[in-house]
Amino acid sequence: MSSIKQRGFTLIEMLLALAIFALISLAGFQILQSVLRAQQQTQAHSETFADLVRLFSLLERDLQHAVVPSTPLASDATRATLYATGPVILGLTRRNRPDPQALARASWQQVEWRYQQHRLQRFDAIDQRETARFDQIVRIDLRFYHAGQWLTRWESPILLPAAVEITLHTARWGAVQRTLLLSGATP
């Protein structure tokens, strides 16, 4: 009778292989989890940066189209060209863009930027419709440039400043400052 030799793994070899596989799997899971966490943080960072760029783009567009109407509008007969009252940190009258569908549209638009509870909102001042919202803003500082000096208030009913400096203090980015030139201003 011949004896048949069986070859295979011993129990200790199997346990050792399973332990090594478990350690490699755990390390792979940890790496995957950290990559996913980094991706989420990058996406959140990117979204808040895009919101900040959009905010400054809207502010710049509003200020570049700001005008002093030749005849006061009914709702702002006694108001300055740029004003700030209560929660309104910046209010203005601006030229309205042409309608691409050639529909009738007002040639002037009144816009108000309001700041309350760490939120900056842009409103159409006539129908009080919110047109944009930006969160996580800690504080806003405005300065107006006119006749070679920076002013903290603007109260002229017949002139626009040459530039407006806006400093936003945000939770994520700290202080972000932009100086925006006004095209309708007289130097």
Domain spans in the chain, listed from the N-terminal domain onward: 55-181
- Measured CA to CA, the distance from residue 96 to residue 74 in angstroms comes to 17
Block mean pLDDT (10 aa), the chain, length 187: 73 92 95 94 88 90 83 52 79 73 66 90 85 88 91 85 91 89 66
**92 vs 171: CA distance, rounded Å:** 27
> Topology of 55-181 in CATH?
Complement Module; domain 1 (2.10.70)
Q: What is the DSSP letter of 74?
A: G
* pLDDT (tens digit per residue) in 76-114: 444 556 777 778 888 888 877 655 665 555 677 888 999
Rama region for 128: left / alpha / beta (φ>0; ψ in -120 to 50; rest): left
The token pair at 168 is: 């936003």
